[in-house]
Amino acid sequence: MGYKLQQVRESAGMTQDQLAAKSGVSRNWIWKIETGKTDNVSIKVLLALANALGVKIDDIFFLDE
């Protein structure tokens, strides 16, 4: 599984700090997701990020094929 969070965040014109403030997810955690430093992201975190960006969870992650 991989994440398109940075691409979606930048398309929304948001910085990591802005997304953190809007989603309640720490900027450090957002950085880890965007840089692939973690692959253990809960549905709760994905939902918070998706809601803050105004997208569906499917829009910020993808399955490796």
pLDDT digit string, tens, across residues 33-63: 999 898 788 999 999 999 999 999 989 887 6
Give Cβ neighbours of residue 30 (< 8 Å, ≥ 6 apart).
5, 9, 16, 19, 20, 23, 49
Task: State the chain's mean pLDDT as an integer.
Answer: 91
Among 57, 37, 39, 55, which Cα is nearest to 47's?
A: 57
Q: Percent of the chain beyond pLDDT 70?
A: 92
pLDDT, position 64: 56
Residue type at 27? R
Question: Which has the higher per-residue pLDDT, 28 or 3?
Answer: 28
- The pLDDT, as a whole number, for residue 6 is 94
